[in-house]
Amino acid sequence: MEERPPQQRRELVLLAIGLVLAMSPWFSTAAVLGQLRDAWDLSRAQASWLTIMVQIGFVLGAVISSVTNLADRIPPRKLIMMGATGAAIANVVVVLGNSFGVAVVARLATGAFLAGVYPPSLKAMSTWYREGRGMALGVMVGALTIGSALPHLVNSIGGVDWRITLVVVSAMTMTGGIVAERLCCDGPYATGAANFDPTQLRAIFANRDFRLASAGYFGHMWELYAMWAWIAAFYLDVFESARVASFVAFLVIAAGALGAVYAGIMSDRRSRSDAAALAMRWSASAAVVAGFLLDAPLPIVVGIGLVWGFWVVADSAQFSAIVTEVTDPRYVGTALTVQLAAGFVLTIFTIFLVPVVRDAYGWGWAFFMLAPGPMLGAWAMRALRLGPRNAPEPVVEPEPEVVWVSPFF
């Protein structure tokens, strides 16, 4: 068994804390959407665009980073600091502008800057782990999950003006960037800065394992951000209390942190593709039934949400782990950013479609619409498992394990 680098766990904890804080602006306006609707007299379509613009901004930022190999030319922790600073400022601009028009532009900028936070954080952590990389990246995705849920927790306190919520989130974002830049360091598996080489994009897309991992990721993204964006609105219809709905939404989204770590450990002991496929079958099952339980007893409504929240993001880290293992180590940052950019394009459609379908047919069919994505992703993971590999199989731990079993497994 390979000897673990010293400080490995310390770096994992610190970088995860940095990512929790740095990614908190993503759903900051979604958490205070009720107040913004009243303050700016927003329509449902306008409310959707406040989240959709973050997705579009992330895609634009990721495309620029991919084409220029930015994620491999700038040290990842420095890029995280730059992205966190920009996202924090953009979030404050929403407060200063105090209008829908300004907010739309600021949310676009927020997404673009966050493209300089998430992919580099995955690359930074991969410099510390070879054995156990699935678990490590699972922790990072768990950190992203908690960071995305934090604005809902702040808003659930009650009586907090939306401006204060956004300013607090911006302060957390800056703190996260400082933690990553000042308190963390590069691991022993770090590679030097890569030269600008646009031909690497062609080599990345020619990799069969990269394409299958990305297909799985696309199915995952069809579901994930639409669920995260609208779960608070769903629970608002259940509880009719903004404070309670925000708190339950925080619990549901944050449950994904446990799911991401669990699937990461499972992937190290079995395989990346098996762990991802299991998570997607469970999340697809939850998507099929969750919306139809709107009038069910409250413990059931909350319980199915927690199950869905646990599994909906559990697979995310495994797609990234596969990419770090099957692509040229010098251009891992570019490969990750390409995958993320393409996946986030899909989120734009489902975030927009969920409220449209909800208004026409109800929450049941709105959430049901998300299920085909993870089912397609599970198929891609099966093809990846059965096909030729470009990288060695993960290390199999000798100790026995107990795993949850999907009804479709």
Instruction: Give the helix/strand (H/E) hosting 214.
Output: helix 208-239
The residues, any chain, with a CB within 8 Å of residue 277's CB and separated by 6 or more, are 216, 315, 377, 378, 381, 382, 385
Q: What is the pLDDT of residue 158?
A: 64
Residue that wins the pLDDT comparison between 340 and 282: 282
pLDDT digits (tens, 9 = 90+) for 67-100: 776 767 788 889 999 999 999 999 999 999 999 9
Residue that wins the pLDDT comparison between 384 and 171: 171
**Long-range own/partner contacts, residues 231-236 (CB < 8 A, 24 or more apart):** 231/305, 231/309, 232/30, 232/31, 232/33, 232/152, 233/33, 233/355, 234/290, 234/291, 234/294, 234/305, 234/363, 234/367, 235/301, 235/305, 236/34
Query: What percent of the chain stands above pLDDT 70?
Result: 88
The pLDDT of residue 210 is above 50: yes
Distance in angstroms (rounded) separating the CA atoms of residues 59 and 150: 23
Q: What is the pLDDT of residue 393?
A: 43
pLDDT band at 406 (very low <50, low <70, confident <90, very high): very low
Report the range out of 208-212, 251-255, 380-384 with the highest average pLDDT: 251-255
Residue that wins the pLDDT comparison between 290 and 127: 290
The pLDDT of residue 106 is above 80: yes
Query: What percent of the chain stands above pLDDT 90?
Result: 43
Q: What is the pLDDT of residue 200?
A: 66
- Reading the block at residue 98, the tokens are 């105090």
The pLDDT of residue 390 is above 80: no
The pLDDT of residue 391 is above 90: no
Q: What is the pLDDT of residue 112?
A: 93
* CATH number of this structure's domain 8-187+197-386: 1.20.1250.20
Residue that wins the pLDDT comparison between 75 and 391: 75
Q: What is the pLDDT of residue 172?
A: 93
The pLDDT of residue 154 is above 70: yes
Distance in angstroms (rounded) separating the CA atoms of residues 264 and 270: 10
Q: What is the pLDDT of residue 398?
A: 43
The pLDDT of residue 29 is above 50: yes
Q: Where are the domains of the chain?
A: 8-187+197-386
pLDDT digits (tens, 9 = 90+) for 294-329: 889 999 999 999 999 999 999 988 888 888 888 777
The pLDDT of residue 2 is above 60: no
Model-level pTM?
0.78
SS3 132: strand
Average predicted confidence (pLDDT) for the chain: 84
- Comparing 67-76, 126-135, 139-148, the range with the smallest average pLDDT is 67-76
SS3 158: coil
Q: What is the pLDDT of residue 196?
A: 47
Q: What is the mean pLDDT of residues 225-235?
A: 91
